[in-house]
Chain A
């Protein structure tokens, strides 16, 4: 992989740091009046999801990371691993382990398309689509006529996530959910 110098650091660039692949989130050029310049960089460690703040001397470089984001369809879980399939017609499958699936486990729906991050051809992270349509499998009975009032109650969805929904929602309904905030958007 190529090396990238601090002046090439920008949001979205994938680099290796301390042996982990990282995604650069922000790079701020700082320089006191007459002195040496530095780059103040925020990076997300793609293995752990944690955000690191590091400073580099201007002109230092990092090795690029062989990281790719690919669209893949969720197929099934065998209990230990979660299996995804490329959507480019090759039917190639990737197994994702518990660590890489992380919190996304509660947003899995067969045939929905996820972004799977590969590092050296291994899946290290999965992100769900921004919106998913999921069925309510468990909630208190809906309050008839209550379509405008505020107030909410918990509902368990088919993927396992629990979200707050309006009081009028019933079990068996399909809802549109924003996976980024975990909030109810509308009836699907």
Chain B
């Protein structure tokens, strides 16, 4: 009989020993939250609404439900469902949630991955940064070095000698074209900043410790509140990202609780998606309803667990800490 496949791509890309280590680290993460009295929750992977973020591509599928045939969205993070629990009075919660992002495959990306997401009602961004630091230090076997807060604006000033809030779009495009060796065409400010961040700044972050980037441009607020930069009143997002060894590990928000503002951002996202030639995504109306009901103010963060495990075990690629990454699923 001819074998159906003679290749060895049925094999896991992580060794069994690594999977054992992974399980041990996951247990450690659960313990970290248990002792802090943060409740573990499980929310659906599928939702009637999806992420409208213009730069996240959701997967969707058609399912037969009590409503007949309808389209459901695979969640890019458990955020919407978890916020509904917060509005329902859950208090502090965490989840280790399988999340899906179409097209994201690479050395540090996989189509589906494990997100550690947690919410802390009453916490400021600073409180949450402190808690992230404790968790990271607990999971990593060696001291990652001191934590430094870096302002988005200062990083661009120091590394590229440009002010991301003030420099003209023309100059931003020029610098992006120089550094990326590509034509930026009619790319907007955020597109240029994203390229400069990815190519010129990110690789240097977290080389001498834990770098926490704060005060992103207001246009990159996503689901975070905004505040004014004391320097000149420019709008900035109350958001942070944690970098270690050039890897983006976590993304935290002082959570937006204003339902009308949230609805407006969703609509605006979909308009942006249309202008980028991307399909629009169904808005999660139940999240808006939950915010209207009232969600306690606080901070939340999403941390890429596979990457944290990669760092803890000194593995070069995300595939080495996953049993079957997408190319082998």
Contacts and interface: CB of A to CB of B under 8 A. Distances in A.
B55 A53 contact: no
Given A31-B109, A55-B180, A37 B199 contact: no
A28 B197 contact: no
Contacts of A37: 55, 103-104
A40 B182 CA distance: 10
Contacts of A54: 180-182
A30 B198 contact: yes
Given A30-B199, A32-B197, A35-B220, A7 B191 contact: no
Interface in A25-51: 27-38, 40
B103 A33 contact: no
Given A40-B199, A55-B181, A55-B199, A32 B104 contact: no
A24 to B, nearest CB: 14
Residue of A7, A35, A58 with highest tally of chain B CB at under 10 A: A35
Interface in B105-119: 105-109
B306 interface: no
A56 interface: yes
B195 A36 contact: yes
A57 interface: yes
B43 to A, nearest CB: 21
Nearest to A6: B103
B255 interface: no
A57 B199 CA distance: 12
Nearest to A39: B106
Interface in A130-183: none
A57 B185 CA distance: 11
Given A7-B103, A29-B104, A30-B199, A35 B181 contact: no
A30 B248 CA distance: 11
Contacts of A7: 103, 105
A29 B190 contact: no
B172 to A, nearest CB: 13
B194 A32 contact: yes
Contacts of B106: 27-30
A34 B181 contact: no
Contacts of B182: 54-57
B295 interface: no
B97 interface: no
**Counting chain A CB atoms within 10 Å of each CB, which of B55, B108, B220, B222 scores highest?**
B55
Interface string A85-114: 000000000000000000000000000000
Contacts of B55: 31, 34-37
B53 interface: yes
B198 A38 contact: yes
A39 B228 CA distance: 33
A31 B106 CA distance: 10
Contacts of B104: 29, 31, 37
Contacts of B181: 52-55
B174 interface: no
A36 B194 contact: yes
A32 B198 contact: yes
Given A35-B191, A35-B193, A36-B191, 8 more contacts: A27-B106, A29-B106, A30-B202, A36-B194, A54-B180, A54-B182, A57-B182, A57-B187
Interface of A: 7, 27-38, 40, 52-58
11 contacts: A7-B105, A30-B106, A30-B202, A32-B198, A32-B248, A34-B220, A36-B190, A52-B181, A54-B181, A55-B181, A56-B182
Interface of B: 53, 55, 103-109, 180-182, 187, 190-191, 193-195, 197-199, 202, 220, 222, 241, 248, 251
Closest 8 CB pairs of A and B: A29-B106, A35-B194, A55-B180, A36-B194, A32-B197, A30-B198, A55-B182, A33-B241
